[in-house]
Amino acid sequence: MTKTMKRIPAILVIVLLLLVSVSVPLASAASAPAVKNVILMIPDGMSVGGTTLARWYKGGTPLAMDEMACGLVRTYSSDAAIADSAPAATAFSTGFKSHTGYVAVLPDVADMPGLQPIARGDEKKPVATILEAAKLAGKATGLVVTCEIPHATPAAFSAHYPDRNNYDDILEQQVYSGTDVVLGGGSKYLTPEARKDKEDLIKVIKDLGYDYVTTPEALRKSTSNKLWGMFAPKDLSYDFDRDPAKQPSLAEMTSKAIEVLSKDKDGFFLMVEGSKIDWAAHANDPVGVISDILAFDNAVKVALDFAKKDKHTVVIAVTDHGNGGITIGDRETSKNYDELPLSIFIEPLKRAKLTGEGVEKKLNADRSNIKEVMATYYGITDLTKDEIKAIKEAKPGKLNYVVGPMLSKRAHIGWTTNGHTGEDVVLYVYSPTGDRPTGVIENIDIAKYMERILGLNLQETTKKLFVPAEAAFPARGARVEWDDSDPNNPVFVVTRDNDKLKLPINKNLAEINGKLVKMNGLTVYNGVTTFVPQEALDLMKALQ
């Protein structure tokens, strides 16, 4: 046997090893599941102290989101260290930091360290959301919340305006945006009586083909691919206070939304918000915080179970900011914190059957039953005279701000503020591919991550949806003017020769020479400039 012949097996082994090493990654890449769906879940105002407290409250067993923890998120806005919910949600939805009160528009000031100034003329300009980009890509879209639907967080995904309190315009944009599933509260804001334009948006919703439901039973029975559920005139009750016959849980709404949206073969984007964790933290009501963190975590489990079975879905859970500065331990535990048993903190909370908001509904008109109600429903049997007086004098709708601190004191739960806080928050992500952000990231990176894994382009979507109309139409030889004969229903009018295009503000409708056309985008006025979809310009161009 020659030396050459002896070397052949060794060479073959090396070749085979190289083939194996090359083929394994290729096989893995080929079998890796493509991400078609994203479920973004926002526990508004959930500080890590609240998460820890909720876990202890349920006995110390892991929360559903615990296994997804992978990093931290910085929460500051364009010009403040502590963010309001509107710019915080805008960062998630658009990939841009914005100003207090602004939903899905650029800020007018961006002076926090490391940020680039806003280009002159771009102030308050609407920018595309991940929901809008998903919709243009053919995906189904949904919003699920426990607050009223035009509130800051859902608004930042489905409307554009530099004032989160402008419910009239925001809600009209939401109705005409074409989102497939909308579940939450806020039915009163849809009625003519509550609106300056006197438009009946419930009728509009039904005319647009939605199954409009108002009860858990109707929600369960619905088989429609377009579903709009309103389960309260304003916000839904805290989960501990909720009547299951009248209002669905966040988990139930999440499950139904996934059921409907997952029918779309192109995939879906769903935003789910546990809205009132934030409200309870504002009130320093620990029971409200626990109530809705646990309700949110139940919804996370629904989403996570679906994702693990589906293998094409990413689930992200991340709060927009902290709130309240909640801690397990207060000034009274400064010297003996390491000697106190868990029961010192948890047992007072366990005695409460309702949140502070729920307790208020149990008081009679003259509030003569304060002792009985507080003992039965809030677990406090040793009220002082000053506490009874404070409860009696509490303003309607604000009792939780009075009784929350009372229970917190007895449970040694600390708070630093009734406002938001500026610390980093925990990022939770499940990805079937293992592709997820880690370390400390910016809140705008959440939008960029979703954009990347879904194969979307937010910048191009902005170009398609938000063309400055006052400049674009005259550049094509047309004249523009406002028809504000009805100031609450303004129309942007474009005229060229004998052709006339009418674009009602906040709607996806266009009237071209009397013919009504539905567009894949809204006409939006930001208080300064009107923006229209490229499709509106194309309508006029088609008449040349």
For residue range 491-513, list pLDDT tens digits in order. 999 999 999 999 999 999 999 99
Judge whether residue 1 has pLDDT over 80: no
Domain 40-326+418-464 fold: Alkaline Phosphatase, subunit A (3.40.720)
| CATH 3.30.457.10 domain range(s) in the chain | 466-541
Q: Provide the pLDDT confidence category of residue 29 given band limits of 50, 70 and 90.
A: very low
- Residue 8's pLDDT is 43
13's CB contacts (< 8 A; 6+ apart) are none
Closest by Cα among 289, 298, 310 to 254: 298
Residue 151 annotated in ligand binding:
yes
Helix (H, G, I), strand (E, B) or coil at 500: strand
Average pLDDT over residues 308-325: 98
Cβ atoms of residues 321 and 425 within 8 Å? yes
Residue 282 annotated in ligand binding:
yes
Q: Provide the pLDDT confidence category of residue 542 given band limits of 50, 70 and 90.
A: confident
Average pLDDT over residues 100-119: 96
CA dist., res. 210 & res. 219, Å (int): 12
Helix (H, G, I), strand (E, B) or coil at 319: coil
Taking only the tens place, the pLDDT of each residue in 193-228 is 999 999 999 999 999 999 999 999 999 999 999 999
Judge whether residue 250 has pLDDT over 80: yes
318's CB contacts (< 8 A; 6+ apart) are 40, 41, 42, 73, 92, 425, 426, 427, 428, 446
Residue 266 annotated in ligand binding:
no
- Residue 34's pLDDT is 87
Cβ atoms of residues 306 and 313 within 8 Å? yes
Closest by Cα among 401, 376, 417, 144 to 261: 144
Provide the pairing of β-strand 322-323 with 227-230: unpaired
Q: Tell me: domain 466-541, CATH 3.40.50.2300, correct?
A: no
Judge whether residue 364 has pLDDT over 50: yes
Average pLDDT over residues 92-106: 98
CA dist., res. 291 & res. 101, Å (int): 27
337-414 — its CATH code?
A: 1.10.60.40
Residue 321 annotated in ligand binding:
yes
| CATH 3.40.720.10 domain range(s) in the chain | 40-326+418-464
Judge whether residue 402 has pLDDT over 80: yes
Average pLDDT over residues 372-382: 97
- Residue 543's pLDDT is 72
- Residue 432's pLDDT is 96
Taking only the tens place, the pLDDT of each residue in 110-136 is 999 999 999 999 999 999 999 999 999
Please give the positions annotated as active site.
85
Q: What is the amino acid identity at position 380?
A: I
| CATH 1.10.60.40 domain range(s) in the chain | 337-414
Q: Provide the pLDDT confidence category of residue 87 given band limits of 50, 70 and 90.
A: very high
Average pLDDT over residues 55-61: 97
Q: Provide the pLDDT confidence category of residue 400 given band limits of 50, 70 and 90.
A: very high
Residue 160 annotated in ligand binding:
no
Tokens of 247: 């209002």
Cβ atoms of residues 99 and 107 within 8 Å? yes
For 52, counting Cβ atoms within 10 Å of its Cβ (0-12 exposed, 13-18 middle, 19+ buried), the class is middle
Average pLDDT over residues 1-24: 40
- Residue 544's pLDDT is 65
Judge whether residue 535 has pLDDT over 50: yes
